[in-house]
C-alpha cells in the first residue's frame, strides 16, 4: 500500500511539473511573439518619425546636407544614426520624444574642441524642421524630407561609354576652389596637394564607373558617386581588418569583405556599379561589396537630394592622388 501511495504521489508531482513546464513554454512563446519585431506595435506618437530623412541645414547662410535615421528599439525607445556635412555616420543611442518634439545629443567627431552636438526637431507636415546646435553653441535651422527608396523595378540596360577624363585637360570638370591643385601631367590627372575637389559637369543616375588610380604612401582620397556617396581611397595597411572608413568602403556605412588594396605607388582599379541605392564594387578584380544598399549620404556630400541625378566628384581636399582612367557607362532607363 505504501509503495502504491508513493508511486501515485510521484506521478502527480510529475504531472504537475509537466503542466507547469507547458505553461512556462506557452508564456515564453507568447513573450517571444511580443518581442518579435515583425509583430511590433509602433507607438502612435513616434510612427510618423520613423525612417530615413534627408536634411538641408542653413549653416551661416549656406545650405549644407545632413542625414538622419530614426528607428524603434524594443517597445518604445527611439535610436538612430546621424550624418553631418562632414565626417562619417554617427550612432545615436537614444532619441528623446516629448510633446511631439524629438532631441538627441552626440559627441563631437571632427569638429574642433570637445562637447556635444545637439539636434532638436519635430514633424512639419510631411517633413521635419528643427535646429542643430554645435559644440560651440552656434545654432543652425534645418528642414528634412523623407529619403526616397530608389528601388528599380526593371533591370538596367547600358548606354555608350563616356570618357570623363580625356587625357589632355580638365574639360568637363570644375574645381571647387581656385587653388589649381588638379593638373594633367603626361596624360595623367594629378592632384598634387590638398586643395579643391573636382566635379563633373554632367550628372548621372544609375551607372557603371571604371577608375584607375594611384596614391602615394599615407595619402587619402575618395570618389563620390552621384556626388553623395563616398567610395574611400586610402593607404590602408594590409594588416587591418576591413572597415567602412578604410580602402574600398562606402564611408561610414558599408565595409568591404576584404582589404583589396595593392598598396601605395601602384596603379589600382575600381569597377563600380550603382543602381538605385544598390552598389557593387570590384577592387583589383575582387568583388568586395556586392549589391549592398547605401542607407544615406556620406559626409562631404554635395547635397542631400537623393532622388536626383548627381555628378562624379573626386575628393581633392585630403591628399595627393592620380587617375589615368575614368570611364562611365550610364544606364539608358
pLDDT at 317: 87
Alpha-carbon gap, residue 139 to 170, rounded angstroms:
39
First to last CA, the chain: 89
Q: Which helix (H) or strand (E) holds 16?
A: helix 2-34
pLDDT at 32: 52
Residue whose grid cell is 566628384: 313
pLDDT at 1: 46
3-class secondary-structure state, position 81: strand
Domain 162-330 part of CATH 2.60.120.560: yes
Asked if residues 273 and 160 have their Cβ atoms less than 8 Å apart, the reply is no
pLDDT at 13: 46
Pull the grid cell for residue 253. Answer: 556605412
Alpha-carbon gap, residue 144 to 130, rounded angstroms:
9
Pull the grid cell for residue 127. Answer: 517633413
Extents of the domains making up the chain: 51-146, 162-330
Give the global pTM. Answer: 0.88
Phi, psi of 84 (to 5 degrees): -90, -165
pLDDT at 38: 67
pLDDT at 15: 45
| 102 CB-near residues (< 8 Å, 6+ apart) | 49, 70, 78, 95, 96, 120, 121, 122, 130
pLDDT by position in tens, the chain (length 333): 444 444 455 444 444 445 455 545 545 544 455 567 666 788 889 999 999 999 999 999 999 999 999 999 999 999 999 999 988 999 999 999 999 999 999 999 988 888 999 999 999 999 999 999 999 999 999 999 999 999 999 999 999 999 999 999 999 999 998 888 999 999 999 999 888 999 999 999 999 999 999 999 999 999 999 999 999 999 999 888 999 999 999 999 999 999 999 999 999 999 999 999 999 999 999 999 999 999 999 999 999 999 999 999 999 988 999 999 999 999 997
Alpha-carbon gap, residue 220 to 199, rounded angstroms:
17
Fold entry, domain 51-146:
Porin (2.40.160)
Amino acid at each position: 500500500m505504501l509503495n502504491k501511495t508513493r508511486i501515485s504521489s510521484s506521478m502527480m508531482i510529475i504531472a504537475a511539473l509537466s503542466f507547469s513546464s507547458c505553461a512556462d513554454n506557452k508564456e515564453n512563446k507568447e513573450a517571444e511573439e511580443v518581442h518579435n519585431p515583425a509583430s511590433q506595435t509602433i507607438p502612435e506618437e513616434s510612427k510618423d518619425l520613423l525612417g530615413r530623412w534627408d536634411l538641408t541645414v542653413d549653416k551661416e547662410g549656406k545650405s549644407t546636407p545632413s542625414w538622419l535615421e530614426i528607428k524603434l528599439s524594443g517597445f518604445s525607445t527611439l535610436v538612430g544614426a546621424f550624418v553631418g556635412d562632414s565626417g562619417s555616420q554617427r550612432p545615436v543611442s537614444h532619441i528623446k520624444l516629448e510633446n511631439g518634439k524629438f532631441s538627441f545629443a552626440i559627441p563631437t567627431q571632427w569638429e574642433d574642441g570637445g562637447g556635444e552636438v545637439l539636434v532638436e526637431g519635430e514633424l512639419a507636415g510631411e517633413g521635419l524642421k528643427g535646429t542643430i546646435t554645435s559644440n560651440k553653441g552656434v545654432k543652425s535651422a534645418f528642414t528634412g524630407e523623407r529619403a526616397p527608396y530608389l528601388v528599380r523595378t526593371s533591370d538596367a540596360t547600358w548606354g555608350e561609354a563616356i570618357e570623363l577624363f580625356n587625357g589632355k585637360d580638365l574639360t568637363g570638370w570644375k574645381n571647387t576652389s581656385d587653388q589649381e591643385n588638379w593638373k594633367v601631367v603626361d596624360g595623367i590627372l594629378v592632384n598634387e596637394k590638398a586643395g579643391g575637389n573636382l566635379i563633373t559637369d554632367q550628372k548621372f543616375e544609375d551607372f557603371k564607373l571604371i577608375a584607375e588610380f594611384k596614391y602615394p604612401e599615407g595619402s587619402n582620397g575618395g570618389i563620390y558617386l552621384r556626388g553623395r556617396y563616398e567610395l574611400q581611397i586610402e593607404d590602408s595597411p594590409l594588416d587591418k581588418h576591413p572597415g567602412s572608413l578604410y580602402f574600398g568602403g562606402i564611408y561610414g556605412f558599408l565595409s568591404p569583405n576584404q582589404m583589396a588594396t595593392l598598396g601605395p605607388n601602384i596603379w589600382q582599379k575600381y569597377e563600380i556599379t550603382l543602381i538605385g541605392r544598390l552598389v557593387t564594387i570590384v577592387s583589383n578584380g575582387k568583388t568586395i561589396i556586392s549589391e549592398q544598399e547605401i542607407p544615406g549620404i556620406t559626409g562631404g556630400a554635395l547635397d542631400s537630394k537623393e532622388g536626383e541625378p548627381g555628378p562624379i566628384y573626386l575628393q581633392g581636399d585630403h591628399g595627393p592622388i592620380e587617375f589615368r582612367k575614368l570611364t562611365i557607362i550610364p544606364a539608358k532607363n
